[in-house]
Structure 1
Amino acid sequence: MLEMKQPQDRALLRRLALASQGLLQTQPYGQGLAGARNAINHLGYIQIDTISVVERAHHHVFYTRVPDFKPAMTNELLVQGDIFEYWSHAAAFLPIADFRFSLPYKHAIKSGQTHWYKTRDQKLMHELLARIRSEGPIRSRDVKGDTKQRAGWWDWKPAKQALEQLYMEGDLMVSSRAGFQKTYDLTERVLPSHINTQMPSLEEFAEHLLEQQLRCHGLVTLKGLTYLRRNTELRKAVKNLVSARLAQGTLEQVQVSNGEVFLLEAGALERFVSPSSNRMLILSPFDNSVIQRDRLKALFQFDYQIECYLPEVKRQYGYFCLPLLYGDEFIGRMNAKAHRKTGHLEIKALHFHPHQFDDELVIAAWLEAIIAFSQFQQCQTVSLTQVYPNTLIQRLQNALKSLT
C-alpha cells in the first residue's frame, strides 16, 4: 500500500478527485443540453433537493460543470428519456442507461421492505393504477384526497402516498416535473423501449458501482462505494470484487495522513491530471464532490456540515452555507439567499478559512464567481453583510459596488 502523506501527495490526490468530478476544467462535458446529458452520464447521479434558498441543488450541480446550462434543461432531459428519477443514496436524477440497477430496490420495496410507509393502501394503489392506465398521466394534486390540515411533508394525503408507493415499487415513473410538482405515468409508457430491464445479479451491481464511482470520483473508499446503501449482500459483493481486483493488480490502494485508505485504478496517479487554476467555484451542499463528508475531510481537510437541519443556536456558519472551491482546495463557505421577487442575492456571511493564497487573487476569483452565480439565481443586485476575517469586508464591499 502506498502512503501519501506529504502536501504534494495530497495535492495530486485532490486534483485526481476534482478532475474526475469535472471541477478543474471549464467545460469538461460540453455546453447546454448536450453538456448536461454528458455530465450526468459521467457523474452517475445528481441528487434532487427541495431547499430553494438558492437555485435547487440538482440545477446547481449541472450549472457548476456545464456552461450555458438552464434549469429548464433538467425537465427536458427527463421528458426526452435521457434521465429518470429514482432513489440512489437519496432522491436523484439518474442516467436512463442505468435503469436496470434501480430494479433491485424496487423489487425489495414491492416485496415488503419499507421506504417511506409501513402500511400501504393496496385498494387505492390499484384504483390509481387503473385510472392512469385509462386516463393517462396524473399529478398528485389532480387526485382528491383528505383535505384536513396536515402536519408536514411526511403527512401527505393518502393519494400522494399511494402514488409515491407505486413509484417506489416501480409501477410508475415520473414522466415530467414542473418545479416539485411531479407527473406520474405507467413505467411501460415512460421507459424507452431500447432500455435493458433485466434484473442485475449482485456481482453485476457490484461491478456497476465500482466502475461508476472510480469514473466520477477517481479514488474511493470501500465504505464510500456503497454509501448509504443498507443492502448487506451488496456490500459483501462489492468487498469481494475489490479484493479480486486488488489481487489481479487492476486496483491499488493509497493511505492518506488520517489513515483513510483509498482505492484507485492501477496507474491512475501516473496519468496527467490538469493542474489547478485560480478559478473559484461556489458549490451546492449536495454536490457530488462534497456529499460524502468523511471523504471530504480526509482528502481536503475540509470539515463540512450543512446546518439547515440544526437548531439555529447550534449553527456556526449559517442556514445554507455553500462550499467555496478555489483551485484544488476548499477555502471557505458562503451563506446566501436569493430573493427572487426583488432580484437580489443576499450574502449573509462569507467565511474564508486560513489559506496560503494571495488575498487579492482570492477576491478577484470570488468576484468573478459571484457575477456568474447571481446571474444563475436571476438576481441583478448583490449585498454582503458579514465577512470573516473582517479585515476583508471593506475591499469586498467596495468591489461589489463597482459591479453595480
Structure 2
Amino acid sequence: MIHELTREQARRIAVRAQLLTEPRPVDLLEVVRHLALVQSDPVKVVAPSADLVAWSRLGSSYVMGDLEALRVAGSLVELDMMLRPAEDIALFRAEMAAWPGPGPLKEWQEGIRDWMLANDECRRDVLGALAADGPLPASKLPDTTIAPWESSGWNNDRSMRKLLDLMVGRGEIAMAGTEGRERLWDLAERVHPATGTVPLEQAVAERDVRRLRALGIARPKSARTPNEPNHVGGAGAPAAIEGVKGRWRVEPELLDGDFAGRTALLSPIDRLVIDRRRMGEIFGFDYQLEMFKPAAERRWGYWAMPILHGDRLVGKLDATADHEAGVLRVDAVHEDGAWTRRMRSAVDDEISALATWLALSVMRGVLPGERQGR
C-alpha cells in the first residue's frame, strides 16, 4: 500500500518527527536519541548550531553546554562532526572494520586506500603519540605525511586533517574534547563505549530506520552526502506526495495524530532544513546559507535562521549575538508571503526568548514585519 499524502500532511509529519510541535520534549538525551544525531559546527554567529538545535526543541529548560556535558559524561560521542548517542557506535563498528568499504571498491575508495598506505608511517606515529600522551590536539601530533592530500575543495593540501578524518572512519581514533578552539584526539578505545558490533547489513538497515524516525518522511535513495545520508532505504512504508515527483518513505507511526504547531527559530543546518532538496519539495522554502557569499550578494544575511510557524517555513531571521555589547542584534526579519499580526507577535516572542536564553537584550535594526534585503 502506498500512502497518498498532501504536502501539508508531509510537512506536518516532518515537523512532528523533528520534535518541533507542542508539547516540547523535556529530556535532552532522549531528544538526541530520537533525532539520532545533532550536527556539531564551530560557527557561533548566534550560538553553536548543536546548542540551537537543543534550545529550539527544549526551550528555556536547555542550558548552554548541556550537550557538551553529556559528551564528557560519555552519554554522547562525536563521529564525523555529529553528536550521537554513545550506544549507537555499535551501528558503525562493522563499517569501520570494512574501511574503506565492503566488497569491490570504487575508484575513489581505492584512491583513499592508496593514499593512506602511502602515509602509513605517519598514521602509526599518530597512534603512538596518542597511546603515550593522548588526548592531544592536531597541532601536537607528528605530521610525517609523505603524500599530500589533493582535491579541488576545502581539504586541498590539508594532509594531516584528512589523515585524522580517515583514522576516525577506520575506528582508530575519536574526538575526545576541545582545548580552546582545537579538537582533542585520542585512541577510539578510550572514547567509545565497549559495545558489541552489529553486522554491517543489519547496522545499515537500523540506521535507516532511525533516520526515518527522525525525519518522518524521506527519499529511499538520494545523492551521496558527507557524514550522514538523507535517504532511508527500505525503512518505513512507501508514500507519494501530491504534486511532488518520485518515491518517498514515511514513518507509519506519524501518519495519525493531532498536530499542535508552534513557532521556532532554526539553525541553518537544522535537520528539518539541511536536506535542501526535500525542503524545497515539501515546504517550498527558498533558502540557502549565504556565509560563503560576498556581502553584496546576500539576500537574507550571513547566517540567517529559518523561521518555522506551524507546519510552514515562513521567513528568515538575520541576527548576531554580540556578547561584548550584551545584545542580540536583529538586522532583519525577512517575511515570506503575507504575515498576520499573530505570526509577527509569535516570531517576536521567539526572538525575545532566544535573547533571554543567551542572557542578551534585543537590539533591533529592523522591526518584525519590515522587509530588508542584504
| Fold-level similarity (TM above 0.5) | yes
Q: 1:316: Cα distance to partner?
A: 1.7
Matched, 1:222 2:202: no
1:51 alignment counterpart: 43
Q: 1:132: Cα distance to partner?
A: 1.9
Matched, 1:97 2:87: yes
Alignment of 1:17-96 (within 5 A): 17-28=14-25, 30=26, 35-67=27-59, 68-87=61-80, 91-96=81-86
Q: 1:265: Cα distance to partner?
A: 4.0
Q: Identify the range of structure 1 (100-109 vs 316-325) with the bigger mean alpha-carbon deviation.
A: 100-109
Q: 1:376: Cα distance to partner?
A: 3.1
Alignment of 1:72-221 (within 5 A): 72-87=65-80, 91-103=81-93, 104=95, 107-109=98-100, 114=112, 121-143=119-141, 154=155, 162-178=163-179, 180-193=181-194, 195-196=195-196, 198=197, 200-201=199-200, 203-221=201-219
Q: Identify the range of structure 1 (377-386 vs 36-45) with the bigger mean alpha-carbon deviation.
A: 377-386
2:336 alignment counterpart: 353
SS at match of 1:337: strand
Once the two structures are superposed, residues 24-63 of structure 1 have per-residue CA deviations (whole angstroms, 9 ceiling, x without a partner) of: 02422x1xxxx22111111111112222211111111111
Higher helix share goes to which structure?
1
SS at match of 2:46: coil
Q: 1:221: Cα distance to partner?
A: 1.4
Change (3 A) 1:65 1:206: same
Aligned counterparts of 2:23 and 2:324: Cα–Cα separation in 1: 31
Aligned counterparts of 1:381 and 1:55: Cα–Cα separation in 2: 15
SS at match of 1:129: helix
Letter in 2 for 1:169: R
From 359, 365, 373, give the equivalent of 1:384. Answer: 365
Letter in 2 for 1:42: H
Alignment of 1:223-238 (within 5 A): 223-224=221-222, 228=225
2:300 alignment counterpart: 317
Partners of 2:237 and 2:252 within 8 A in 1: yes
- Between the two proteins, the alignment pairs up a number of residues equal to 352
Letter in 1 for 2:76: I
Change (3 A) 1:77 1:55: same
SS at match of 1:222: coil
Partners of 2:348 and 2:368 within 8 A in 1: no
Q: 1:199: Cα distance to partner?
A: 5.5
Q: TM-score, normalised by structure 1?
A: 0.76
Once the two structures are superposed, residues 352-400 of structure 1 have per-residue CA deviations (whole angstroms, 9 ceiling, x without a partner) of: 1113x532x1222122111111133342342223766459xxxxxxxxx
Matched, 1:307 2:299: no
Letter in 1 for 2:39: Q
Change (3 A) 1:302 1:390: closer
Partners of 1:24 and 1:274 within 8 A in 2: yes
Q: 1:64: Cα distance to partner?
A: 0.9
Q: 1:156: Cα distance to partner?
A: 8.0
Aligned counterparts of 2:158 and 2:371: Cα–Cα separation in 1: 49
Coordinate RMSD, CA, aligned = 3.3
Aligned counterparts of 2:226 and 2:130: Cα–Cα separation in 1: 31
SS at match of 2:250: strand
Partners of 2:54 and 2:62 within 8 A in 1: yes
Structure 2 unaligned spans of 5+: 102-108, 145-152
Aligned counterparts of 1:170 and 1:186: Cα–Cα separation in 2: 9
Aligned counterparts of 1:263 and 1:124: Cα–Cα separation in 2: 44
Letter in 2 for 1:377: L
Alignment of 1:273-292 (within 5 A): 273-276=258-261, 279-292=262-275
Identity %: 22
Once the two structures are superposed, residues 210-267 of structure 1 have per-residue CA deviations (whole angstroms, 9 ceiling, x without a partner) of: 311221122221135x7626999xx8xx75xx2xx7xxxx723122213243222447
Aligned counterparts of 1:273 and 1:97: Cα–Cα separation in 2: 32
Change (3 A) 1:227 1:121: closer
1:256 alignment counterpart: 242
